[in-house]
Structures are given as structure tokens and as C-alpha cells.
Amino acid sequence: MHQPPKPYELARRLRAGESLFTAWMSMPEPLLADLVAREGFDAVTFDMQHSSVDLLSAMRGISAVNHAGKPAGVRIALDAFGDGARLLDVGAEIIIAPMINSVADAKKFASAVKYPPLGDRSWGGNRFQQLIGMNPQDYLRQANEMTVALAMIETTAALAAVDDILAVPGIDGVFAGPSDLSITLLKGEKLDPNHQVVKDAFAKILAAAKKAGKLTGCYAPSPERAKELAAEGWGFITLINDSLMVRGGAQQALKAVRA
């Protein structure tokens, strides 16, 4: 008999100090998400900011990932805080919001995805009840702890305000974006997510989060860098995206027959 996934373990594991590796999905195909979820990733995250994943395909993808027994996350589109709440309604466990550059941005994000007293998340949907077997009253009491809201730190302004952003009630932690940090810190000269200025920014973000007692996440430029980031103490780490998985598999197979 199929055993349903044990939901909302992601928040518990991150708060226990584990480093978790997530796959990153940019293709709006639930079957692909299901396939990836059945591998050894700790979670599967959908990117609605820089891909063709829309709200409906993210919802379907979350269901596929949950069915495969894994937790799902979503990076919502820019300023789409309301989508974050809807995705939590259908079973997402972590919401990442891009371009959180100020306390005001962080407050808007937290308000949308956290129930009172931390925010003003609207009540609705019943998918979570099917997933967790929890009655509405118990879910309401525990939802703010069982779900994770990460504010992306990826600009000069966000980096300068990171301590204040982390202090906003309802913001569970921060998620560092190395590509945009390289662009903003190098003043648009080049894209270099492995540049020393990015590593220095990552160190500042990690130290600020640890000082605030908040969670961390980041996008790793490579699996090798992901291993280093885990050793440094980062929590929710993007290991690889779906297009690289598909291309890498294709290239490996073709190399084997054409070498």
C-alpha cells in the first residue's frame, strides 16, 4: 500500500541544522518533477521567476513531488507574494521570494505567507488537510512553524539591509543568489558567481543569519561548490537544475557512443 509522505519535515530538519540539497525545476512538466523527486534529493523546488513554470504547473508539480514522498518548494515570481500563500495552500513547504531589498519588502512577503500574529495570510484551500491528516485548528496553530519563508538577498541594497530583513517577524531566513550578487557587486561588468566578492557576501549573509538565529539557503554554482557551502553551514542548497540534468545525461550518452 502506498504510504503518503510525511509532510512538513523540511522546516524541522532545517531548524535542526541540517544541510539539505534541492533540485531546481524550470520545466512545467509534473512527470519530470515526479521523476526527479524519486531520486536522492532532499526536496524539489520550482522556479516561477526565471522559467516557464506558472502557477498551475507549480501546483501540479507540488502534488507530483508530494506524491513521490518529498517536500516541495517554490521561488515565486517578483512581487507575487499572493502566489506564495496559494502554493502553501496546496502543499508547498518553503517559499523563496526574489529581490527582497528592504524591510518593507520583507514585511509584505511575511504578511502574505504567515498567519497572524506574524502576518495576514488568508485562510483557504483544503489540500493541506489531505496531505497531513491535520484538522484545520491544529494546522492554523502550527502552520507558521511548519512552513519556511526565505527572503532572497541578491543586491547591494539587500546586502546592506540583511540584518534588518532578518529581524522582520515571519521571515524565517534568507536565500543568497550568487549570480545576481556578482552582477550587482561587480557593477554589471560580468557574471561570475564564483568571484571572491560573492564569497565575501555569502560569508556576511551566513554570519548575519546565524547571529539572528534564522535559516539559510543559497543557489550553488556547481555540485562542488554545493559541498563546500554545506560544510560552511548553509541549510537549503540548490544542487542542480532540470535542464542541466537532461543535458548532462544526453551528453554523457552521446560521448559514450561517439568517442
Distance CA 212, CA 171 (A): 11
**For residue 4, pLDDT beyond 50:** no
The confidence band for 7, taking pLDDT boundaries of 50, 70 and 90, is low
Give residue 230's pLDDT: 98
Examine residue 37 and state whether it is found in any structural domain, yes or no: yes
110-150 tens-digit pLDDT: 999 999 999 999 998 778 777 778 888 989 999 999 999 99
Cis peptide before 117 (omega within 30 of 0): yes
Give residue 43's pLDDT: 97
Distance CA 177, CA 193 (A): 8
Nearest to 55 by CA among 85, 13, 94: 85
**For residue 3, pLDDT beyond 50:** no
213-230 tens-digit pLDDT: 999 999 999 999 999 999
**For residue 102, pLDDT beyond 90:** yes
Domain that holds residue 59: 9-258
Examine residue 3 and state whether it is found in any structural domain, yes or no: no
Examine residue 1 and state whether it is found in any structural domain, yes or no: no
With pLDDT > 70 as the criterion, what percentage of the chain qualifies?
97
230-243 tens-digit pLDDT: 999 999 999 999 99
The confidence band for 192, taking pLDDT boundaries of 50, 70 and 90, is very high
The confidence band for 177, taking pLDDT boundaries of 50, 70 and 90, is very high
Strand partners, 94: 73, 148
Examine residue 187 and state whether it is found in any structural domain, yes or no: yes
Q: Mapping DSSP to helix (H, G, I), strand (E, B) and coil, where does residue 185 land?
A: helix
Distance CA 145, CA 172 (A): 9
The C-alpha angle with vertex 115 and arms to 55 and 51, in degrees rounded to 5, equals 20
| Active site annotation includes 67 | no
Give residue 54's pLDDT: 97
Give residue 2's pLDDT: 40
Examine residue 4 and state whether it is found in any structural domain, yes or no: no
> Across the chain, what does the average pLDDT equal?
94
The confidence band for 6, taking pLDDT boundaries of 50, 70 and 90, is low
Examine residue 65 and state whether it is found in any structural domain, yes or no: yes
Give residue 124's pLDDT: 83
Q: Which of 2, 50, 67, 195 is catalytic?
A: 50
The confidence band for 30, taking pLDDT boundaries of 50, 70 and 90, is very high
- Report the number of distinct structural domains present in the chain: 1
The confidence band for 106, taking pLDDT boundaries of 50, 70 and 90, is very high
Examine residue 41 and state whether it is found in any structural domain, yes or no: yes
Q: What is the CATH number of the domain that holds 46?
A: 3.20.20.60
